[in-house]
């Protein structure tokens, strides 16, 4: 039972790490400072759920629309299962 809990905890931590990496764009401080354009492009994890058996994690990623390529509106919601 303890091994299963450790595996479950490990999976939750991995899922949280994946969500954090996906949500934050990678940019070095030497490249540029944070601008309003960067803020407008930020993605965010909105919801996270773990399957009852602990084998999978699902999360909803909020992705802003890219103007002027797409119509103005709310961010897209992408469902990811890991």
Residues of the chain by 3-state class (helix, strand, coil), percent to 5: 35, 25, 45
What mean pLDDT comes out for the span 31-36?
A: 79
* Paired tokens of 73: 């509106």
Question: What is the rounded CA–CA span in Å between residue 79 and residue 11?
Answer: 18
| pLDDT of the residue at 1 | 47
Kindly report the pTM of this predicted structure.
Answer: 0.55
Do 13 and 21 contact (CB within 8 A), yes or no? no
What mean pLDDT comes out for the span 22-28?
A: 57
């Amino acid at each position: 039972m303890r091994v299963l809990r450790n595996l479950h905890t490990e999976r939750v931590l991995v899922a949280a790490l994946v969500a954090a990496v996906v949500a934050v764009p990678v940019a070095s401080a030497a490249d540029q400072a944070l601008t309003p354009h960067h803020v407008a492009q930020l993605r965010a994890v909105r919801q996270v759920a773990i399957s009852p058996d602990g084998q999978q994690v699902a999360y909803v990623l909020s992705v802003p629309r890219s103007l002027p390529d797409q119509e103005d509106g709310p961010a897209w919601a992408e469902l990811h299962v890991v």
